[in-house]
Amino acid sequence: MSRKISDGLVKASEAYARNTALRAAVNLIPGIGGSLDVLFASKAQSVVQNRLMQFLEELRKEMNSVKEEMVDKQYLESEEWLDLVLRALEAATRTRRIEKISLYAKVLRGAVIVQDRQESSPEEYLAILAELTPREIEVAQAIYRQQNDEPQSGETELQWAWRKGWNQFSNICPSVPKEDVPYVLQRLERSGLLHEITGSYLGYGGEVYTATKAFRKLMRYLGP
């Protein structure tokens, strides 16, 4: 499948190289025309192929931990598996970040293991991960690591979040500028990975978030 995608890119690149009118129009774009011409004519196919190869290497690493008897052979013959692989390959071509490519490989690894297929949705997991930026994924993972248990008996969700160190959030994600944090958290909430604690708590003004059950389920699916 990676060869088919690569061949398609080669043909597209060759077609662009032969289209002199299109290349002339691209080169007329001030400042970036020359760069785009090089990108469309040759570099794009090389970059995409390298990303596909990186994805396949990450998938190989993931599958090394899966025993043969754990693989659902019937699922591997399904159109559902084919669709998932094609989506993962496409997602991998759209990012230069190895951490995202590695997560896509983890989704495929989780999909091939014999399981109750009503319990997970690798297609949805792949779509969620593809929509998030590397920084958003970094923040989500940091919050998940911080909130690695459940509230104790008699403890409110807000008390638990504070006890787990929410007020030290800037320390666990130092790479995220403070002014960008609200936007990142809201994006993660819209994705269904986080939810903001609400309620009439004395002195509470909002903006404390916790991992949702769906997010915890996703992280368990992805594994280590």
- For residues 126 and 31, state if they share a domain: yes
**pLDDT value of residue 120:** 82
- For residues 53 and 95, state if they share a domain: yes
- For residues 122 and 169, state if they share a domain: no
- For residues 74 and 162, state if they share a domain: no
For residues 46 and 151, what is the distance between their CA atoms, to the nearest angstrom? 50
Q: Which residue has the higher pLDDT, 142 or 114?
A: 142
CATH number at residue 148: 1.10.10
- For residues 92 and 13, state if they share a domain: yes
For residues 5 and 51, what is the distance between their CA atoms, to the nearest angstrom? 12
- For residues 10 and 114, state if they share a domain: yes
Q: Are residues 65 and 115 in contact, defined by beta-carbon separation less than 8 angstroms?
A: no
- For residues 165 and 192, state if they share a domain: yes
- For residues 146 and 125, state if they share a domain: no
- For residues 89 and 34, state if they share a domain: yes
Here the tokens at position 8 are 């398609």
Among 82, 113, 131, give the residue marking a domain's end.
131
User: What 3-state class would DSSP assign to 217?
Assistant: helix
175 closest CA partner among 165, 166, 184: 184
- For residues 124 and 140, state if they share a domain: no
Q: How many domains does the chain have?
A: 2
- The model's pTM is 0.78
Residue 117: pLDDT band with limits 50, 70, 90: confident
**pLDDT value of residue 33:** 74
**pLDDT mean across residues, the chain:** 84
Angle at which helix 44-63 crosses helix 98-112, to 10 degrees, equals 50
Q: Which residue has the tokens 């958290």?
A: 185
- For residues 11 and 98, state if they share a domain: yes
Among 67, 96, 131, give the residue marking a domain's end.
131
What are 80-110's pLDDT values in tens digits? Answer: 998 998 899 889 988 999 999 999 999 999 9
Angle at which helix 122-131 crosses helix 79-93, to 10 degrees, equals 10
Among 106, 131, 156, give the residue marking a domain's end.
131
- For residues 23 and 111, state if they share a domain: yes
For residues 46 and 95, what is the distance between their CA atoms, to the nearest angstrom? 14
Q: Are residues 61 and 105 in contact, defined by beta-carbon separation less than 8 angstroms?
A: yes
Q: Are residues 118 and 75 in contact, defined by beta-carbon separation less than 8 angstroms?
A: no
Q: Is the pLDDT of residue 9 over 60?
A: no
Q: Which residue has the higher pLDDT, 57 or 205?
A: 57
Q: List the domain range (segments joined by +) for residue 175.
A: 134-222
Alpha helices in the chain (DSSP H): 2-18, 20-27, 33-38, 44-63, 73-76, 79-93, 98-112, 122-131, 134-146, 157-163, 169-172, 181-190, 213-222
